[in-house]
């Protein structure tokens, strides 16, 4: 029973560390300026030409997802 409590506490501590790390990363990127969005998902345009580089931060990883409504 003692091992179960230990594993549970370690899992909760690990989850708290992951959440804290993600929030600190989000806070460090929120000081950027310009048209860069810190939202997890942002719609840049609905059909107009766009300069993708102007909307991608210079640090970190970004996924650019293109879609079309037919």
- Give domain limits for the chain: 2-55
Q: Is the pLDDT of residue 2 over 70?
A: yes
Tokens of 66: 């293109």
Count the helices and strands in the chain (H runs, E runs).
1, 0
Q: Is the pLDDT of residue 11 over 60?
A: yes
- What is the distance between the alpha carbons of residues 60 and 68, in angstroms, rounded to a whole number? 26
> What is the structure's pLDDT at 48?
83
Q: Is the pLDDT of residue 55 over 60?
A: yes
Q: Which of 3-7, 8-12, 57-61 has the lowest mean pLDDT?
A: 57-61
pLDDT tens-digit map of 29-49: 555 444 556 667 777 887 788
What does each C-alpha distance from 59 to 17, 25, 32, 34 come to in angstroms?
22, 11, 10, 14
């Amino acid at each position: 029973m003692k091992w179960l409590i230990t594993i549970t506490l370690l899992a909760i501590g690990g989850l708290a560390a992951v959440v804290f790390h993600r929030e600190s990363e989000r806070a460090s990127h929120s000081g950027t300026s310009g048209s860069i969005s810190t939202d997890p998902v942002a719609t840049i345009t609905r059909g107009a030409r766009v300069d993708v580089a102007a909307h991608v931060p210079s640090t970190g990883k970004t996924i650019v997802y293109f879609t079309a409504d037919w």
